[in-house]
Amino acid sequence: MLQQTIPVLHMTSADAAEAFYCRRLGFQLDFEVPASPTRRDPSYLGVSRDGVTLHLSSHAGDGVAGGVVYFIVDDVDALHAEFVREGVTIHIAPVDQTWGMRELYVLDPDRNSIRFGHPIAG
């Protein structure tokens, strides 16, 4: 029986990924498995926000930079305002899509597309 899915995005730097996801997007660092006590990368991070989990890996073979993850959210516009306050560069500002979703896109330091959407009322 399937219970949960956790996307894994490739990162090149644990420092840059943690700064972006935790200090800019409001995620918290749940765990980290660094390469060694003296070297952080390659590393595997688990971050979460509002009960939703995302994993980030700088290990060879764990995906390639430029991936995509899509989060269903309550309010894209409120999230957009929060991200602007935090200085996040917006890749695509909130827009109503023809497929019935209002969406917002940002790019992480490795150019992974982090997408947020909510259904358009009506």
CATH number of the domain to which 72 belongs: 3.10.180.10
Domains in the chain, number: 1
HSE of 37 in the Cβ direction (CA atoms, 13 Å)?
0
Residue 115 domain flag: yes
Residue 1 domain flag: no
Residue 78 domain flag: yes
Residue 3 domain flag: no
pLDDT digits (tens, 9 = 90+) for 10-68: 999 999 999 999 999 999 999 999 989 999 999 999 999 999 999 999 999 998 899 99
Residue 12 domain flag: yes
Residue 46 domain flag: yes
Q: Which domain holds residue 15?
A: 8-119
Q: What is the pLDDT of residue 71?
A: 98
Residue 44 domain flag: yes
Q: What is the pTM of this model?
A: 0.95
Structure tokens belonging to residue 116: 């947020």
Residue 101 domain flag: yes
Burial 17-56 (b: 16+ CB within 10 A, else e): bbebbeebbebeeeeeeeeeeeebbbbbbbbbeeeeebbb
pLDDT digits (tens, 9 = 90+) for 59-116: 999 988 999 999 999 999 999 999 999 999 999 999 999 999 999 999 999 999 999 9
